[in-house]
Structure 1
Amino acid sequence: MNLPRIALDAMGGDEGVRVMVEGAALARRRHEGFKFLLVGDQKRIERALDTHPGMRGASEILHCEDVVGGDELPSRAIRRAKTTSMGLTVNAVKQGDAGAAVSAGNTGALMAMSKIALRTMPGIDRPALAALMPTLEPHDVVMLDLGANTEADARNLVQYAVMGAAYSRIVNGFDKPVVRLLNIGTEEIKGTEALREAAARLQAATSQPDGGPALEFGGFVESDKINRGETHVVVTDGFSGNIALKAIEGSARFVTDLLKQAFTSSLRSKLGFLVSRPATELLRHHLDPNNHNGAVFLGLNGVVVKSHGSANANGVANAVNVTASLLENNLTARIEQDLAELGEQALRENGTVASGMSESDEPGSEAAE
């Protein structure tokens, strides 16, 4: 795999240099063509490389001791972009010194720095944070926005749908991913005016005689169906998306903790655990966020991937692999092509509200049902 090198913020994340370098080394053992620009404290990085000598020939170190704090305000972090490991990592993409950036640091700061340094693509108003989540099917589901923008109008949601579909085609291999909008119900009259208008635009665009963009619009989806595997891309605003993501992650931890309590409550339960251990290990592996690590800021003029702050080496390796896949498949060009095929009608400022409710009706009136 002959790719541009990946800039890695070695100082980001809960454990910093050790885990970031170990994760990069693990990814490189799977794909020897990976090359890295490791940004951070040179002495600490070199000590970590002593444990992974195979990384030395594939890595260049950009020394930097300053780090963005986990609770640092994005506005303050932006002012230190030229001196922090995160800022220099993103800047390497802007300057062409790397093809993509990976960081496990402060999400808000990374989003702000990336947007200022790389700017949004033509045809995209706001970038969105997209991530993969497990489903009952062999494939993951792509969900966006997960917190980059708390609000989104119909135009934004349509753009998210295009970007999410392009991402799904790369990571899951679907020719025409099924895209749905997250809503409080599946009926056309449900939800806000922005949701209903976005649905109308996507329905019209994907019903064109020439086929329109490479996605299939499936209408609305409720949050309890996100992980069923029937939907390939779930689109929502960042406020609802972040709440849904954390609810799903919390439910997964609840189930695993409940099983742990149940299997240790008595001798009989412990014996039952030994019998069912292969199944529980499969469940644990499936729900482990490290196996789905690597959220992507879609819509920028460059690839930026956010690794979870608590990710272990395997999680970091997965984030690096996602990054390489996006580089190899030229994500930005795919999004540009899909936007062109979508057409201006779907992206115009004032669209037609979906049938079943007029624009004068009060949105959200069905929420209590």
Structure 2
Amino acid sequence: MASRERIAIDAMGGDNAPAEIVAGAIRAQEELDVEVLLVGDPQAIEACLKQHHSSSRHVEIVPANDVVAMDEEPLGALKRKPKASINVAMDLVKSRNAQAVVSAGHSGAAMAASLLRLGRLPGIDRPAIGAVFPSMMAGKSVIVLDVGANVDCRPKYLDQFAVMGAVYSQYVLGIPDPQVGLINIGEEPSKGNDLAVRTHQLLEKNPRISFIGNAEGRDVLSGRFDVIVCDGFVGNVLLKYTEAVGEAMLQTLQEELSQGLRGQLGSALLKSNIKRVRQRIDHTEHGGGLLLGVDGICIISHGSAQAPSIFNAIRLAKDAVANRVLERIQSNIDELEKSAASSKSRQDG
């Protein structure tokens, strides 16, 4: 029988820590067959666990006597607070006492701690945060990266993002041949700024992906693309705008369907349909973003995450571990480097 995945949870990170973090972790341990390690203030965590009675008896607590606050500068805080919960959680992965980290705390601190504690995978110049977006095609999602780790990028970084996104799409999202696109202001290869034009040239030559061209804003949720790459500035704006549109749609549905007797009757009849709509467009259903390119699985959840979002973040971590995402990314990056070296050798010859 295979051992269960061990997931380290930064119990002190986020606006709703530790209560919502603990609640989501407990549910994940019960329903996803994982072992959760709650990292943080033991007294605060135990107080939350008592509310779950017998379901929390086998949860492991790993003490951490500090936390990086949301308004702190990440690098300075991590150095001043070596026993902060995010540092301790990363150390559990580094020492192989856990296979993944989930944090809803300071996203900058989570990224910095992962780089300082875990380091980059060989051959990766910059890690990227990949976020799963809904699409207009039922049952299909698109992974967009980077959505915030790298505001300024070089073409080589986006080329690597495409490989990492394709691996995740294929082995975790179950897309046999992920179709990759590049965010741009037009479909033509010559469109866009210098970064877009040069990146397009690289992606066209990349033998590890199926690149099908530029993706305009209207294409992101169309279902045509499985992986979309962009720099972290564009990706972060896109992520937050998409989340806001989803929230606006849900709020509009709730308001309009409750108007008048017909609306109330219709709302009752369409309850299951509305639930499915929420599952497709509510960002909390996706749990957060996967930090791809570091030597460990790290899920960065929303700072406002509540128990359902933490549960889904742990599910993402479990899937990434079970599908050996790190090993597959490493293998593809190695092959990409070999291909580039061979091409350069032929040109020099």
TM-score, normalised to structure 2, is 0.90
Alignment correspondent of 2:67: 67
The yes-or-no answer on 1:227 pairing with 2:228 is no
> SS of 2:117's equivalent?
helix
CA distance in 1, matches of 2:3, 2:32: 10
> SS of 1:196's equivalent?
helix
> SS of 2:129's equivalent?
strand
- The alpha-carbon distance between structure 1 residues 187 and 52, as it changes in their structure 2 partners (threshold 3 A), is farther
The answer to which of 91-100 and 297-306 deviates more is 91-100
Alignment correspondent of 2:150: 149
Alignment correspondent of 1:168: 169
TM-score, normalised to structure 1, is 0.86
* Pairing 1:229-268 to 2, within 5 Å after superposition: 229-268=223-262
The yes-or-no answer on 1:82 pairing with 2:82 is yes
- The alpha-carbon distance between structure 1 residues 119 and 15, as it changes in their structure 2 partners (threshold 3 A), is same
Alignment correspondent of 2:184: 183
Superposition RMSD on alpha carbons, in Å?
A: 2.1
Q: Shift of residue 39 of structure 1?
A: 0.8
Alignment correspondent of 2:329: 335
CA distance in 2, matches of 1:257, 1:37: 36
Q: Shift of residue 344 of structure 1?
A: 4.8
Q: Shift of residue 81 of structure 1?
A: 4.2
CA deviation vs aligned residue, 1:215-236 (integer Å, no higher than 9, x gap): 3111110122211212111100
Q: Shift of residue 69 of structure 1?
A: 1.1
> SS of 2:246's equivalent?
helix
Q: Shift of residue 297 of structure 1?
A: 0.8
The answer to which of 75-84 and 141-150 deviates more is 75-84
Q: % of aligned pairs identical?
A: 36
The answer to which of 45-54 and 125-134 deviates more is 45-54
Alignment correspondent of 2:347: none
5+ residue gaps in structure 2? 345-349
The answer to which of 265-274 and 34-43 deviates more is 265-274
CA distance in 2, matches of 1:347, 1:179: 23
CA deviation vs aligned residue, 1:196-251 (integer Å, no higher than 9, x gap): 22222221223xxxxxx2x3111110122211212111100000000111111111
CA deviation vs aligned residue, 1:246-288 (integer Å, no higher than 9, x gap): 1111111222223333334545544444454443332223222
CA distance in 1, matches of 2:334, 2:122: 10
Work out whether residues 22 and 52 of structure 1, in 8 Å CA contact, stay in contact via their aligned partners in 2: no
* Pairing 1:1-369 to 2, within 5 Å after superposition: 2-32=3-33, 34-50=34-50, 51-57=52-58, 59-137=59-137, 138-206=139-207, 213=208, 215-344=209-338, 346=340
- The alpha-carbon distance between structure 1 residues 38 and 347, as it changes in their structure 2 partners (threshold 3 A), is farther
Work out whether residues 155 and 346 of structure 1, in 8 Å CA contact, stay in contact via their aligned partners in 2: no
Q: Shift of residue 193 of structure 1?
A: 2.1
> SS of 1:250's equivalent?
helix
> SS of 2:332's equivalent?
helix
Q: AA paired with 1:120?
A: R
How many residues are treated as equivalent by the alignment? 340
> SS of 1:227's equivalent?
coil
- The alpha-carbon distance between structure 1 residues 335 and 347, as it changes in their structure 2 partners (threshold 3 A), is farther
Alignment correspondent of 1:367: none
The answer to which of 272-281 and 193-202 deviates more is 272-281
Work out whether residues 81 and 88 of structure 1, in 8 Å CA contact, stay in contact via their aligned partners in 2: no
Q: Shift of residue 43 of structure 1?
A: 1.5
> SS of 2:295's equivalent?
coil
Q: Shift of residue 166 of structure 1?
A: 1.0
CA distance in 2, matches of 1:125, 1:148: 12
- The alpha-carbon distance between structure 1 residues 232 and 346, as it changes in their structure 2 partners (threshold 3 A), is farther
Work out whether residues 185 and 191 of structure 1, in 8 Å CA contact, stay in contact via their aligned partners in 2: yes
CA distance in 2, matches of 1:175, 1:278: 30
CA deviation vs aligned residue, 1:301-326 (integer Å, no higher than 9, x gap): 11111122222222111111111111
Q: Shift of residue 144 of structure 1?
A: 0.5
- The alpha-carbon distance between structure 1 residues 194 and 263, as it changes in their structure 2 partners (threshold 3 A), is same
Work out whether residues 181 and 236 of structure 1, in 8 Å CA contact, stay in contact via their aligned partners in 2: yes
CA distance in 2, matches of 1:322, 1:91: 20
